């Protein structure tokens, strides 16, 4: 049997991507903010989904005809995504900026001199955790919301066209939001600045775009980050938007560009 003493010291101390990933997993699950922030995201998804579905069912008779015609039971039960994205994005920023605030990043980069494996490990670990929890939360929100709508026979099922894609797409969208948060945390290295930039991209930019002439807005709107990414959660494609998976690919491109920028900055700057 091979013992630890029989393994060369250089081999035992060698830095590998797998070991960096394991280290980042330990750090992520050890942070108290991880538990509380992800719990807030799950509660937002499920709780708001239930509330919106219940109140829609209760007010159905008072809704104008145009709102009834455009009613999407799947989207109503996933309304919590708009608040959950803030929690997921904030934690993504904190995954990196928190280490800069405490000075722990110096230890991380000293242990991994090539630096980039640290960023890839942080992004991978957080993406897997966010995807798993947010997909479960999306499914729970959908099931609870449809139960609330079933009293008026307004509910739908996962077997209907586009519904399963919308439910699973909510988890994918939130995962990419988290990755953008990780990228901004590494790029800006400041929690407040990273969060402000993330909120500006997801919340402020769409509002500013409304000031454009309507012809320009129709051309630009499909490529805005939130419009492109959230196309997955709409069962029916909205006007002036890209096809769901095409839009999600554009949204992923935003995340890849942000991560690439973060990687370049991490390699060139001092810790």
In angstroms, how far is CA 17 from the centroid of its own chain?
23
**Distance of alpha carbon 140 from alpha carbon 144, whole angstroms:** 6
Burial class (CB in 10 A: 0-12, 13-18, 19+), 120: middle
Tokens for 39? 């719990």
* Backbone angles phi and psi of 125, in degrees to 5: -60, -45
Residues 6+ apart with CB under 8 A from 102: none
Tokens for 148? 């609330």
Residues 6+ apart with CB under 8 A from 172: 131, 135, 232, 248
Q: What is the pLDDT along the chain (271 residues), one digit of tens a residue?
A: 444 444 454 455 577 889 899 989 988 988 888 889 999 999 999 999 999 999 999 988 888 888 888 889 999 999 999 999 999 999 999 999 988 888 888 888 778 878 888 999 999 999 999 999 999 999 999 999 999 999 888 999 999 999 999 999 999 999 999 999 999 999 999 999 999 999 999 999 999 988 888 888 889 999 999 999 999 999 988 888 899 999 999 999 999 999 999 999 988 876 5
Rg (CA), the chain: 21
C-alpha distances (whole Å) from 46 to each of 52, 66, 140, 203, 255 are 10, 27, 6, 22, 26
Spatial contact of 185 and 263, defined as CB atoms under 8 Å apart: no
Q: How far apart are the first and last CA of the chain?
A: 42
């Amino acid at each position: 049997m091979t013992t630890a003493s029989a393994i060369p010291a250089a081999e035992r101390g060698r830095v590998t991507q797998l070991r960096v990933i394991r280290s980042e997993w330990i750090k992520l699950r050890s942070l108290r903010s991880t538990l509380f922030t992800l719990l807030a995201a799950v509660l937002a998804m499920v709780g708001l989904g239930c509330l919106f579905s219940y109140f829609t069912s209760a007010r159905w008779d008072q809704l104008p005809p145009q709102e009834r015609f455009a009613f999407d039971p799947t989207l109503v039960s996933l309304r919590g995504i708009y608040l959950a994205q803030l929690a997921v994005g904030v934690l993504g920023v904190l995954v990196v900026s928190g280490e800069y605030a405490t000075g722990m990043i110096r230890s991380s980069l000293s242990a991994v001199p090539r630096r980039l494996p640290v960023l890839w490990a942080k992004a991978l670990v957080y993406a897997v955790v966010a995807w798993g929890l947010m997909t479960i939360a999306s499914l729970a929100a959908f099931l609870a919301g449809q139960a609330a709508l079933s009293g008026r026979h307004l509910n739908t099922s996962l077997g209907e066209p586009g519904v399963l894609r919308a439910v699973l797409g909510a988890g994918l969208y939130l995962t990419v939001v988290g990755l953008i948060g990780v990228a901004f945390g590494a790029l800006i290295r400041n929690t407040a600045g990273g969060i402000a930039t993330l909120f500006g991209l997801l919340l402020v930019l769409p509002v500013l775009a409304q000031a454009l002439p309507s012809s320009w807005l129709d051309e630009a709107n499909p490529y805005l980050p939130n419009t492109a990414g959230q196309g997955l959660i709409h069962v029916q494609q909205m006007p002036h938007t890209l096809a769901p998976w095409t839009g999600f690919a554009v949204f992923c491109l935003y995340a890849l560009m942000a991560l690439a920028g973060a990687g370049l900055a991490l390699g060139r700057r001092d810790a």
